[in-house]
Structure 1
Amino acid sequence: MKKIGFLLFLLAFIIVMAPLQDRAAASEARVQIFLDGSALKVSKDAKVTNVNGSIMVPFRVIGENLGFDVKWEQKAQKVLISKDDTSMELVVNQKNATVNGKKVKLDTPPLLEKNIVSVPVRFVSEQMGLRVSWDNADKAVYLTTAETPPAKDNGVGAGGGDVPVPPPVTGTDAKPGASSGESSEVTDPATTPNVGDSVVNGISFSENRLMVAFQGGTVKPKVFKMSGPERIVVDLPNTSFSPDFLGGTAAGVGNQGKLDVSGYPDVAAVRYSLFSSSPSTVRVVIDMNNSKDYSVYNENEGLDSGLLIVDLNKAGSTETPATPPVGGSGKKVVVIDAGHGDQDPGTTGYSKTKEKDFNLAVALKVGQLLANEPDIDFVLTRSDDTYLKLAERAKIANDLNADVFVSIHANYADSRAASGSETYYQRDASKSLANVMHKYLVQATGLPDRGVRYGNFHVIRETKMPAVLLEAGYLSNPKDEAALFTESVQNAIAQAIVNGIKEYLGIQ
């Protein structure tokens, strides 16, 4: 009897503690929320929190601040939200919502805690036509109506400190604030920022080189140094961010961010932002640990696209060189492409893993190995969780006159039975590279050999050099997925890619 009593006590304890453990995932750090530049008023007992990556807001805050009609049905544990022609129903602890009668899946369901019901602000806001952006540095959510984008200091100011959002500028005498040095401008939030002639589609940093891909017009960058602290500033006049790069967020709305840069002794961080709205100017700042010279390479193709490279390896010259700052001294140039990124996760695995994470992990390992090869100079199309268009990935390789292009991916099929490694080529000139790469890939994964195949994929079709796309395995297959997300297999795949590249290029 004592044993049974203890087991019943243990079961009761687990049942009571389980929801507490789930809620422990919620961030205790206070999150602020802004609507068109103005902070929403939230009572102390109704915090805006981050739960497993979803920003949760008390539903009454939405009603009081965003002008939505909100109702709470206690018995059904249901939140009803409506405005104009849009109505939605969200039920506590249920991941399926209803929008205008249609079921929509939620990443995080509504939560009920201390008699306060919180709902995911991104889902509710986007369904109601608001733009949503997240500032991880300031731990703040920015909501913007289509007519009145907010004015926000972008954090790319002198010293890179966190600066609160300025209040809206009102009145007939209101004018954009002037600034000097690297401080951000404050513009009238009632005025839509001017859209640049060109758009930035991608920003990456690898091998001590900043690369900025843009499209739609000639860009004449201004690159200069600043001190106190040391930094290299890149201004791109008449340029804005591509909505694709910003994950669908409109230009001028909270479009600021930071690359995950590590392993470079000279560089502390890389930050980017829409610095000015009149004219629209993108600014990228390389925060330096010490003063360092650089070279600039700017390749434009009229109204098509371009690539800007700020190279910290070639010190002593800030003039634009005639050739890209990659592949000197007879070195072979290799471009490694980690497929997908940021808002484009690629396929989702059997246990909810994301393809983009696998692709990046292997690409970074390949980069570490290639850094030890004296006869190879390499570039990663992305070195962190950022988004880059397919055309820009191919363009980077073409502009660098690369010798080899390798795109890293993982596969998916509707059937869990599909398993194995595949290598794709598009042009006959790439087939011999595909054969060599596939041989090493199959050995590394230990998965079934699904062969070398023709594939009409953009990145291997539009590149001018031998190019392949590797599908290491099927994330829809539990066994493939488990293998691909182990450190040992990822290391083996990375080494296989390097071995294949070296054999193809005839490098010992």
Structure 2
Amino acid sequence: MKEIQSSRWEMKKSVSIMLLMSLLFTMFASVGHAASVPPKLFLEGKQLKSDVDPKIENGSTLVPLAILSEGLGYEVEWEPVMKKVTVKNDSTVIELIIGEAMVKVNDVIMDIAAKPQLMNQRTMVPVRAVGELLGLEFEWKAAEREVHMFRIQPEQPEQPAEPNPTEPEKPKPVGYITGVSMDEHSVITITHTDVQKPGKPLVLDNPKRLAFDFKNSTFEPYFNGETRVEVAENPLLTGFRYAQFQLNPLTARLVINIGDDTGYVVTESENAIQIALMPSAEVPAEPEKPADPEPPVTTPPGEGNNGAQYTVVLDAGHGAKDPGAYSKPMNRWEKEFNLNAALKLKAELEKDKRIKVLMTRSDDTFLELADRIKFAQDNKADLFISIHANSYDKTSVNGSETYYYRDNSKALADFLHPYVLAGTGLNNRGVKKAAFKVIKETTMPAVLIEAGYLSNEGDAKALFTDSVQSKFAAEVGKGIKAYLKLK
């Protein structure tokens, strides 16, 4: 009886193993079949047909040469002896050789990730590598195994002025992009030499993205092909990429994949362009026409303000329970520098009896931002100067910055920044636009000075030196008087 039961058990186990093996075989066969399904190609939503299916190899989609000519409308030449493919449009000539990872684009040698191949007597070329050089945008839909291509027209150049026949046309200097990075405030900074600020970006969908074109610009030689940066857990963007978009005309492109409610502000400083991403509601409205800086409101001497002509409010940032940034190199807090510098600046300005100086705080007390704004508004200040020091995780970051937000404050920021630099003696990080509450919600010309980075040992040692604070006060005081035309 035991032998019969044992035999039945062995049969059941054998049948179970066979069923399990059959199920696994079916599953793997399905996966293998799915993986072998050739990708489909679409141009502007229309599927491109070919008698030979595209093939994915090492992450690149190879397509028959006919797709480039018949499907995309490019001029294509094939030289069988050299096994060379030439693809052309109005401005770009691309030469590829079967089996070679080097490609010649308008006589410039470049690398591509995928090599052209001969498959079943057909010439197969990497469609993305060729298409992007010719101005196409690509989207890969993994679930559907579809490659979608879109023709992106570069921003139309402005109409050139009529040439002067007596003066030879001067060649424009080529701009070089030397770095692209993003900080914790979702500000993308493009460092460069001779690169012009981009115009309005192209706004693209599926996925939503902004494409900024930098005209007559290229990248430093150490940039190799397209660079992609993924950004996690940020509602404003999921990533960005940059590459040479065109060689004729020379154009570099930055593409930012943005959220549904993302706006931007583009500013520039010396050798840097900043693209600050922010919620759409925080993007400042553009004025209907360029606004001239509002001149300070003058009061004749002897009438109000105890005979002073101008009221300047100095705002020493932070205070008391809000210490601001911590300087690890100096073991001190930002609120100390802010107050010391503001008090010294007050003393400098009060040497001129035509200036009435008011301070939002003159000791280690705490004041809400709304109260600082109300203080300046209630006292009908002519200028509002907020003094701070910065900090950053990367301790090598250093230098002085001057921020503004409203149009009537830009002239003050531009005018005062050289005096800030002369006072601190630190690296020039430029004039920038940012929506700090105290300079956003005041109405008079207002700036916020980030004198230096307390996270940087060199900056911190300088800012906590009495002589540097005194020089900062003297130079910024001189700048304020010059802005107010007080001689």
Normalised-by-shorter TM-score class: 0.3 to 0.5
TM-score (norm 1): 0.36
TM-score by length of 2: 0.37
Larger Rg: 2
